[in-house]
């Protein structure tokens, strides 16, 4: 039996009558851009996350771009962000004319290493952009300490982590802005592109809202240069149907992560990442005695498991495991095979591969297994059996 990395039909199919009703309501309203559907979803999202304000936007990428624009970050400014993340995090920094200054990652939580961030601060550093990678919060106390010490703005890239918590507080509501993606494979998936911006600051919210609509205030009078970063009424209506089911999706992912850890940790040569080491004291060149290292939720964190990402130790072993899984019909993915500091588009920043030893190493070790909420437990058992055979 094949095991898919994702199956969006399972989740959306279960809600077909409600989604169909929402679609017909929007179709018959004739109101497709912003309007009451978007406002209703924004209120529900603010309530769900605990943010004072939520702004529906066109994508998670545009949410980051808009946050940077609302904070007036541009040419001459530097923004700290991890190298081991999805491209959009740093791409947006470059697009506003600022310079992404990469930071190494922690091999336990996969999030930014704050000691490395501290070393890279200059008089031009204007903001820090932590990513809550794979569904787990970065060390936000550390981020806030660093930000207040150096007068930095904080934008949380919570694209993969809506609903995750740090010390009980939802990610995306801790910094100046939080950005969320509703890309279909994210934990709350739209039926197309969509995103949101969260903030507790009324002035920043007002500014972002104007920038979302070409900087118009009032209509056809432009004080600032904005863009079209609007959320479709249709996506808002569909997302509003799915939002009440979000906690159920998270429960499913947590159950699946626990099952993987339970089964895989029993195998010889497999260990669970040690949260006590989190704080990034490990040497990226050190030899690991394990063959597989399983992911873990750090003590302050409510993990929402957007991904279940293992580290496969040993040269070529990760690619061998991937080939082994593929040959047996099991979907798996590499998030991400090349860290941002090694991407061709950032070559002019002048980084060398070993400037960020963990980001470089993790890119060759990680592999993410199928963990979507609806995956049958037997399929997880099957994935574990195939991994046991590989070891
Ligand atoms: C998905 C993702 C984004 C971009 O979201 P889109 O909605 O696809 O634009 C940004 N950052 C991270 C870390 C992501 O995973």
Residue found under tokens 């990652």: 105
Domain ranges of the chain: 8-245, 246-390
19's tokens: 């989604």
Distances (CA, A) of 205 to 175, 195, 201, 210: 13, 15, 6, 9
**Which CATH entry fits the domain spanning 246-390: 3.90.1150.10, 3.40.50.300, 3.90.480.20, 3.40.50.620?**
3.90.1150.10
Residue 193 near residue 15 (C-beta atoms within 8 A): no
Residue 292 near residue 316 (C-beta atoms within 8 A): no
Residue nearest to atom 14 of ligand 1 (CA): 159
For the CA atoms of 319, 321, 323, 325, the dihedral, rounded to the nearest 10 degrees, stands at -150
CATH code for the part of the protein at 8-245: 3.40.640.10
| Ligand 1 mean position, distance from CA 213 (Å) | 21
Specify the ligand 1 atom closest to the Cα of 133.
13
User: What is the pTM (predicted TM-score) of this model?
Assistant: 0.97
157 CB less than 6 Å from ligand 1? yes
Distances (CA, A) of 62 to 70, 82, 159, 180, 340: 12, 18, 11, 10, 19
- pLDDT tens string, the chain, 391 residues long: the values are 899 999 999 999 999 999 999 999 999 999 999 999 999 999 999 999 999 999 999 999 999 999 999 999 999 999 999 999 999 999 999 999 999 999 999 999 999 999 999 999 999 999 999 999 999 999 999 999 999 999 999 999 999 999 999 999 999 999 999 999 999 999 999 999 999 999 999 999 999 999 999 999 999 999 999 999 999 999 999 999 999 999 999 999 999 999 999 999 999 999 999 875 455 567 888 888 899 999 999 999 999 999 999 999 999 999 999 999 999 999 999 999 999 999 999 999 999 999 999 999 999 999 999 999 999 999 999 999 999 999 9
60 CB less than 6 Å from ligand 1? yes
Cβ-in-10-Å burial (0-12, 13-18, 19+) of 343 comes to middle
Cβ-in-10-Å burial (0-12, 13-18, 19+) of 188 comes to buried
306 CB less than 6 Å from ligand 1? no
178 CB less than 6 Å from ligand 1? no
Longest dimension (CA), the chain: 67
Cβ-in-10-Å burial (0-12, 13-18, 19+) of 283 comes to exposed
88 CB less than 6 Å from ligand 1? yes
Distances (CA, A) of 168 to 27, 109, 178, 290, 310: 39, 17, 16, 32, 25
Residue found under tokens 């697009």: 95
Residue 238 CA to residue 235 CA, distance in Å, equals 5
């Amino acid at each position: 039996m094949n095991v898919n990395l994702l199956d969006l039909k399972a989740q959306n199919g279960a809600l077909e009558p409600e989604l169909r009703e929402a679609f017909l309501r929007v179709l018959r309203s004739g109101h497709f851009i912003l309007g009451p559907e978007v406002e209703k979803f924004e209120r529900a999202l603010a309530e769900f996350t605990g943010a004072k304000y939520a702004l529906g936007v066109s994508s998670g990428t545009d949410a980051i771009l808009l946050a940077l624009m609302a904070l007036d970050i541009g040419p001459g400014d530097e923004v700290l962000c991890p190298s081991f993340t999805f491209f959009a995090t740093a791409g947006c920094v470059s697009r506003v004319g600022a310079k992404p200054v990469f930071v190494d990652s922690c091999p336990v939580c996969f999030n930014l290493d704050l000691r490395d961030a501290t070393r890279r601060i200059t008089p031009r550093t204007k903001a820090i952009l932590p990513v809550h990678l794979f569904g787990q919060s970065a060390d936000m106390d550390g981020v806030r300490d660093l930000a207040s010490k150096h007068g930095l703005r904080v934008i949380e890239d919570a694209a993969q982590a809506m609903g995750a918590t740090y010390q009980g507080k939802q990610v995306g509501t801790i910094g100046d802005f939080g950005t969320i993606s509703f890309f279909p494979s994210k934990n709350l998936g739209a039926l197309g592109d969509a995103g949101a911006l969260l903030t507790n600051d009324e002035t920043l919210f007002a500014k972002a809202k104007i920038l979302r609509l070409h900087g118009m205030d009032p209509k056809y009078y432009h004080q600032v240069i904005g863009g079209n970063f609007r959320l479709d009424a249709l996506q808002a209506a569909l997302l509003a149907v799915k939002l009440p089911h979000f906690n159920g999706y998270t429960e499913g992912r947590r159950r699946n992560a626990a099952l993987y850890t339970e089964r895989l940790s029993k195998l010889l040569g497999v260990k669970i990442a040690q949260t006590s080491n989190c704080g990034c004291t490990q040497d990226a060149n050190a030899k690991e005695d394990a063959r597989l290292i399983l992911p873990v939720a750090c003590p302050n964190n409510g993990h929402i498991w957007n991904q279940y990402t293992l580290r496969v130790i040993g040269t070529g072993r990760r690619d061998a495991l991937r080939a082994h899984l593929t040959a047996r019909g099991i979907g798996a993915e590499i998030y991400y095979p090349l860290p941002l500091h090694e991407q061709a588009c950032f070559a002019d920043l002048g980084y060398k591969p070993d400037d960020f030893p963990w980001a470089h190493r993790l890119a060759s070790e990680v592999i993410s297994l199928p963990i979507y909420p609806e995956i049958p437990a037997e399929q997880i058992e099957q994935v574990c059996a195939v991994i046991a055979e590989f070891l």
